[in-house]
Structure 1
Amino acid sequence: MIEVVCNDRLGKKIRVKCLPTDTIGDFKKLLGLQIGTDPNKIVLKKGYMIFKDHISLDDYEIHDGMNLELYYS
């Protein structure tokens, strides 16, 4: 179990517990439940790279305590 921090750039940081084998789509569903937003409207970025839904957190080398940028489409 890992914990990933999402920063929405408006001062809100959300901590999400998940498994490294979860896909980005699964992660967005967990995040959407916590913040009350439709997962299809969530965009996760790190720098200029946008994470795709079908790839796992482990494949993107997202580890425990890592920060991701949260945007809304």
Structure 2
Amino acid sequence: MPSQDEKKSGNITIRSSELEARLDRLDRMMDEPCANPRYGGLTLREAVRKQFLNEDAEKQKSRNPKK
């Protein structure tokens, strides 16, 4: 039985400290420069946000086509 410090997900048991370490690593990675030349000069976090906003705008256009 997992202790209070462990989280069970499917067949994997992860200690809270391990999970926090992984999330911290992902957070640091999001602040690294994006490798995709399309988003040159942006961090990965900024590139993901920009892509999300572009996709959201496209969805809005398709839902509300101009007459």
TM range, smaller chain:
under 0.3
Which of the two has greater strand per residue? Answer: 1
Q: What is the TM-score of this pair, normalised by structure 2?
A: 0.26
TM-score (norm 1): 0.24
> Which one has a bigger Cα radius of gyration?
2
Q: Which has the higher contact order (CA 8 A, sep 6+)?
A: 1
- The structure that is helix-richer by fraction is 2
